Homo-oligomer: A and B are copies of this chain.
Amino acid sequence: MAETAGNGRTGTKGAQLRSYLLGLIEGELKPHEKLPTERDLAETFGVTRLTVRRALDQLGYEGRVYRTQGAGTFVSEPRIAKSVELTSFTQDMRARGLVPGSLDTMVEEIPAGAEIGARLALSPRDLVAHISRVRTADGEPMCIENTYVPAKLAPGLAARGITGSLYQMLTETYHLKIEKAEQSIHATVLDPPLAKLLGVPEFSPAFKVLRVAYDAKNQRIEYAESVYRADRYSYDFVIFRTSRDNTN
Contacts and interface: CB of A to CB of B under 8 A. Distances in A.
Interface in A198-241: 203, 205-207, 217-218, 228, 230, 234-241
Contact of A183 (B18, B179, B238): B238
A238 B182 contact: yes
A238 B205 contact: no
Contact of A184 (B184, B187, B235): B235
A185 B185 contact: yes
B5 A246 contact: yes
B205 A244 contact: no
A106 to B, nearest CB: 21
A180 B80 CA distance: 13
A248 B188 contact: no
B181 A90 contact: no
A207 B58 CA distance: 32
A3 interface: yes
A40 B159 CA distance: 51
B218 A66 contact: yes
A243 B186 CA distance: 28
A184 B234 contact: yes
Interface residues of A, number: 60
A247 interface: yes
A62 interface: yes
B239 A91 contact: no
A187 B168 contact: no
Interface stretch (A81-89, A107-115, A122-130): A81-89
A243 B58 CA distance: 10
Interface in A34-65: 50, 58, 61-63
A81 B186 CA distance: 14
Interface in A63-104: 63, 66, 68, 80-81, 84-86, 88, 90-91
A105 interface: no
B180 A248 contact: no
B178 A241 contact: yes
A241 B179 contact: yes
